Amino acid sequence: MIPEDLYYSEEHEWVRIDDDVATVGITDFAQDQLGDIVYADLPQVGDAVEAGSTVGELESTKSVSDLFSPVAGEVIARNDALDGSEEVVNSDPYGEGWLFKVRVGEGAAEGLLTPEEYTALTSA
């Protein structure tokens, strides 16, 4: 299941861009590969992030994986509802399982993958 209205990164994050706000989460493919997520270390509100930079970690029953920001800008929100309920990332990765929001500038989607490109990446 790869929603058509999102952009994707090669590190398996999804991005929904609404005006100058990018909402970021991990894809269904990523959560499936990670297994049950038990802890999310998210960036702080006010943090400046660069596209491709490590901004946190996701810990699962299988491993600990770096969390990357697929866009550059300033973190304006984090999904604090995940604290103690990290399993929502597994059950609803494209909805309630979002991770953080970034205020972005023009061209925020540059370098991101289309749904078709992401499908090809995960099918290889």
Region of residue 107 (left: phi > 0; alpha: psi -120 to 50; beta: else) = left
Q: Tell me how far apart the alpha carbons of residues 17 and 60 are, in angstroms, rounded to a whole number.
A: 27
Q: Is residue 2 part of a domain?
A: no
Q: What is the pTM of this model?
A: 0.95
Domain of 19, CATH number, reads: 2.40.50.100
56: domain range? Answer: 7-123
How remote is the C-alpha of 37 from its chain's centroid?
14
The predicted model gives 22-45 an average pLDDT of 97
Number of domains in the chain: 1
Report yes or no on 1 lying in a domain. no
Residue 65 lies in a domain: yes
Give backbone dihedrals phi and psi of 75, rounded to 5 degrees, phi first: -65, 125
Residue 99 pLDDT class (50, 70, 90 cuts): very high
Is 24 part of a structural domain of the chain?
Answer: yes
Q: Is residue 63 part of a domain?
A: yes
Task: Indicate the pLDDT class of residue 113, thresholds 50, 70 and 90.
Answer: very high
**pLDDT-derived band of residue 87, with 50, 70 and 90 as boundaries?**
very high
> Predicted confidence band at 47 (pLDDT cuts at 50, 70, 90)?
very high
Give the whole-angstrom CA distance, residue 81 versus residue 88.
Answer: 9
Average pLDDT over the chain reads 96
Residue 12 lies in a domain: yes
Distance CA 60, CA 62 (A): 5
* β-pair partners for 40: 58
